[in-house]
Amino acid sequence: MIKLYSWTTPNGRKVSIALEEMGLPYEAIAIDITQDDQFGPEFLKISPNNKIPAIVDGDQSIFESGAILLYLAHKTGKFLPQIGTQDHWDVMQWLMWQMGGFGPMVGQAHHFLHYNPGKLAYAEERYHKETLRLYGVLNTHLKGRDFVAADLSIADFAIWPWASRFDYHKVDLNDFPEVKRWYLALAVRPAFQRGYAQPKDVGPVPLP
Ligand SMILES: N[C@@H](CCC(=O)N[C@@H](CS)C(=O)NCC(=O)O)C(=O)O
């Protein structure tokens, strides 16, 4: 059975949501990053960058959430269209958009606006502005679409858990109605709700 090393954060939930949607059996192992579990020598053997998530599947060991999502999509043949099609690259480009922007930048917004407010006005402004810009891009893209790409995909699994922290990055989803519609449609899916509650249940999916 797949072992998922994770915590109750957007990057961790990407993978638990994917596992739930794919119907893959897994064991979620809590790596409490508030207690520095991510620096433990056993965990570093599978995640040398000392960050969650990581998975072990038989003799395969993978860290970096984007790589894990791709691994799971290839393993199951689900949620990633066949390579060579535009649909495939639509998923890939939005997955990379999340990994390179709507994760790192929004994460910095969390750092300065939620965890350490009032310490550095310039950084708060910079990352909030960039977060709002990224929401604008996503909002425009989602017009007339139910999902980020043609169908539900690993790109939705990657982006949605970050949007679920709208409160941390001080975004009113009412200002981005297409993102709100997409977010709410996925929030009611039982697999998203089960994945959100891993590796421990800290309350229901946030609703705007
Ligand atoms: N690029 C990595 C980022 C992972 C990441 O930032 N994980 C955070 C939690 S969401 C973490 O483990 N932080 C612990 C630390 O920085 O010490 C991925 O997508 O897997």
Domain spanning 86-189: which CATH class is it, in words? mainly alpha
Residue 153 Cβ contacting ligand 1 at under 6 Å: no
Ligand 1: centre distance to CA 146 (Å): 28
State the amino acid at position 84 in one-letter form. G
Residue 33 Cβ contacting ligand 1 at under 6 Å: yes
Token output for 109: 């917004």
CATH 3.40.30.10 domain locations along the chain? 2-79
Residue 47 Cβ contacting ligand 1 at under 6 Å: no
CATH 1.20.1050.10 domain locations along the chain? 86-189
Q: Which long-range contacts (CB under 8 A, 24 or more apart) does 173-177 make?
A: 173/208, 174/208, 175/135, 176/135, 176/136, 176/138, 176/139, 177/139
Q: Phi/psi of residue 34, each to 5°? A: -80, -15
- Express each pLDDT in 119-130 by its tens digit: 999 999 999 999
- Express each pLDDT in 159-187 by its tens digit: 999 999 999 999 999 999 999 999 999 99
pTM: 0.98
Ligand 1 atom at shortest distance from the alpha carbon of 12: 10
